[in-house]
Amino acid sequence: MALVRDLGATFGPLKMDLPNWQHTSMWVDAGSCVATMKSLPYNGGTFGDHAISEEGRQFALRLLDRLSDVQIRGLFAGSGAARLNPVTAAAHDPDAWTRAFFDKVAAIRSAGPCPSAAALTSRGQ
């Protein structure tokens, strides 16, 4: 089971805008693992850029790797996201959302190697 409050705002400034979510980078700098939310509404709100540790990146990947295509597709299909009136017709396809989700996982996988948690702590991050 997954519960996400305000799912539309989660996936882009235009509410369930698949192309925007596909093209929005989660990284300011993937090589040093600095994540950003600045491309989201209100310039990311109160969420500043943050460095992710290698331990954190690997932990996230271990959790994400447990999710199957069938589970993620079921999440998008079952949520009704594909039945909304989005900006583009592609967003009506749960398979397109599933591919976009796993593209984000691939972006996490290809980042880094990130600094260690100890190195980030010593830098005050």
Asked whether residue 96 is assigned to any structural domain, the reply reads: yes
Contact 54, 115 (CB under 8 A): yes
Q: Is 0.85 surpassed by the pTM of this model? A: no
Asked whether residue 122 is assigned to any structural domain, the reply reads: no
Asked whether residue 125 is assigned to any structural domain, the reply reads: no
Other Cβ atoms less than 10 A from the Cβ of 4: the count is: 11
Total of domains in the chain: 1
pLDDT digit string (tens) for 58-116? 999 999 999 999 999 999 888 877 776 655 677 888 999 999 999 999 999 999 899 99
Structural domain of 48 = 7-114
Determine the average pLDDT of the residues in 24-50.
82
- Mapping DSSP to helix (H, G, I), strand (E, B) and coil, where does residue 115 land? coil
Asked whether residue 120 is assigned to any structural domain, the reply reads: no
Find, among 65, 66, 98, the residue nearest to 79 by Cα: 98
Asked whether residue 52 is assigned to any structural domain, the reply reads: yes
Asked whether residue 33 is assigned to any structural domain, the reply reads: yes
Whether cis (ω within 30° of 0) applies to the bond prior to 86 is no
Residue that is written with structure tokens 């949520």 in the block: 79
Structure tokens at 54: 């290698």
